[in-house]
Structure 1
């Protein structure tokens, strides 16, 4: 049973995309904000809702869920492409990174974390094991690069 939950958890965290109407009738536009979808595929852009403190926007039926209990549908992208404090690397996606080589700007030398790992700016290891409650430094879903 535990394996099934983990598979469902991973599937949910990968399939969700920012600014896209989800099965629960909302489009998450940030980690904590969302817009209602009408007709299944169009978000009502004139009204934005915000999850209460400690909750994140998800593709679950209850929309907002406890942070750390479920990954948000649309993560924080403010640190994407920002070199870490030692100017060694920058996270360019959930599982991708680029080396900075002492500069404040990432270079074209890029890498990918192994399966089950995410990029973490706070670690000297670059890639750390993905686990519940840990948010990637650049929470950009894989499919967002394909849009």
Structure 2
């Protein structure tokens, strides 16, 4: 009998560890994060997972612990993989939970796209139900980015300070290092701000990368190869700042996405859920055209068709969704 209870206790311990495992959280030991059960990501200068994920060797899984984020053998019972249900596209290939309240769009693929969504306060992401976000009192989150999975509110994130004033930017960030100015290929993607703490005061200075190099925010320095997130808008932006592309400007939206195809506009069932944008290239320039589904049909980002059933992405339970940095309406 004691052996039975011992096995039961071990099972419950592993179960709790699995449900409380972290995902997309940078480990301070080696500046890495588990992206999925078998993948890792490098953390950038802002201590955020960035870039393409790296696969663990066959038979290994990602574990975040006191030794850092490591790929460890699946066999030992003491190893419990992180990200048990993180970054997995649901059965309809609509979304994947990336955190307790966060998710990414899959756009009809098995891979989460460059997207970020958040459930409204009091809701958590669960990929086993039709809705993306469900009441925290009704279901458990499919993926947790904190040790306490009962947490239902995300930490408050201060607004990103403007890069126009380097000193003010550094005073707001309160971190030493090099930080990206923007993402326009010919201007801001070649610039960076260096922040330092001098005599208790935050000091900042803006620099331009030498020659034809670009600033890579992942490694925090100028590089010869253009980072994937740098893009060329359809009109030449000023050298300081330009209004962020929005879904109300299809050409700028598509220039930011740098991808051809059909994409959603927003989450409002009465308005933007009926709309979509077609992105395409013509003579080297990114162009976009907005469309509205006929009648009472909705745009489904997974099937890329107009449908009669309300898609999971159209809900007041969703606080926000962005696609490659463009906020959907």
TM-score range, shorter chain: 0.3 to 0.5
Query: What TM-score do the two structures reach when normalised by structure 2?
Result: 0.23
Query: What TM-score do the two structures reach when normalised by structure 1?
Result: 0.43
The structure that has the greater radius of gyration is: 2
The structure, 1 or 2, with the larger RCO (C-alpha pairs under 8 Å, 6+ apart) is: 1
